[in-house]
Structure 1
């Protein structure tokens, strides 16, 4: 199985065998339930749909509720498909934990970044801003955004003030430091997208790092 759904619990630090301090993010790895099994014969590809986090029955439509009752599990709040290897024995109702990452060195983590609201160009795009002294009145303003007659319009995708954050981001090739408590927790080196408590998708790294010769 290529991944699962988890929850970001926050950051802490651990020490390796040489006494070096490592900043890690702690992720609650599931437990996820296999809600649906996709097969090559029926669906054209091999995958599983995982469910994470319980939801009240009254908030689930009848079609989805019937599917959960069919496999005898409570309704799940978050659903996500993950690819599996051909011939991998997985059936509906199985529980998936972080134990699938034992022996894995790097992972990709997808999530929604922290929302920062409406921001100016200095914070949103790291622009320098205008002069601060000598009577300057444009300390944090954008400055010129185009020409006059030609082309006579603002270029497409020009850096402007606007909404910042709260976008889908995938952090690739993060080092998986440790799997703890029989797969309930996984520790990843460095930071990952989203605030504490955010739902994230943890997957085995797609692009392998190659050391320079």
Structure 2
């Protein structure tokens, strides 16, 4: 059973505990999210719950999406996320979820898109060690051998080589909630969150 919500990364700062130690924290603006759809599965005690975040501009939406919201008589949302949960008996379409779903001290998982670094080399992308930098060396930042010649005569898929770095989905698990500001929908968690300031992030909290 889980609770999922959509939010936005505001930025990082630091707090001090009672002992005077510095705690690096990330400030998140979470929700409010609206339940837009509930799909109950037969012969199963779970359901797929879809939530929406941030009101959308109708002029920039496709007609099937507008019809989806119009059918349920709810506003149109820009971002949607669907998750599986067995905690759906007290939920209904149109219900608004906010940061009150969480408590200080809870641990959550946060997913986001990491910063894009462009086309990067071996040392930066895979932390390879460089070659000798002395005079006469012709292997400073080259990868070296990437495979045998005659057999197999090719490079295997998945070989660590230069390429695009970043701009991928990254999930950070077990981030502790340090503080909650319900009036501004602010969540403060310990640690860092993937992506730049303003990125859309997805929050997941497991419930036993």
| 1:84–1:153 distance in 2 versus 1, CA, 3 Å | closer
Tell me the distance in 1 between the aligned counterparts of 2:55 and 2:106.
30
Counterpart for residue 103 of structure 2: 102
Residue of structure 2 in register with 1:32 after alignment: 33
Where structure 1 has 5 or more consecutive residues not aligned to the other structure, the ranges are: 209-213
Say yes or no: does 1:62 pair with 2:66.
no
- In the alignment, is the contact (CA less than 8 A) between 2:25 and 2:192 conserved in 1? yes
In structure 2, runs of 5+ residues without a counterpart are none
- How far, CA to CA, are the matches of 1:191 and 1:157 in structure 2? 28
Give runs of ≥4 in structure 1 deviating > 4 Å. Answer: 41-44
Partner secondary structure for residue 115 of structure 1? coil
Shift of 1:177: 1.4
Deviates more, 1:140-149 or 1:3-12: 140-149
Q: What TM-score do the two structures reach when normalised by structure 1? A: 0.87
The answer to whether the 8 Å contact 2:123/2:130 transfers is: yes
Please state how far the C-alpha of 1:87 moved relative to its aligned partner.
Answer: 5.2
**Secondary structure, in 3 states, of the residue corresponding to 1:123?**
helix
Give the count of matched residue pairs: 207
Q: How many angstroms does 1:42 deviate by?
A: 9.8
Q: Name the counterpart of 1:129.
A: 130
Shift of 1:125: 0.5
Equivalent positions of 1:1-150 (< 5 A) are 2-41=3-42, 45-86=46-87, 88-102=89-103, 105-150=106-151
The 8 Å contact of residues 36 and 72 in structure 2, kept in 1 or not, is answered as yes
Shift of 1:152: 2.2
Change (3 A) 1:159 1:87: closer
Q: Deviations over 1:121-167 (max 9, x none)?
A: 01000111211112223322111112222332223321111011111
Q: Name the SS for the 1:69 alignment partner.
A: helix
* Aligned counterpart, 1:186: 187
Contact 1:121 1:142 in 2 (8 A): yes
Determine helix, strand or coil for the equivalent of 2:127.
Answer: coil
After TM superposition, give the deviation of residue 45 of structure 1 in Å.
3.2
Corresponding residue number in structure 2 for 1:211: none
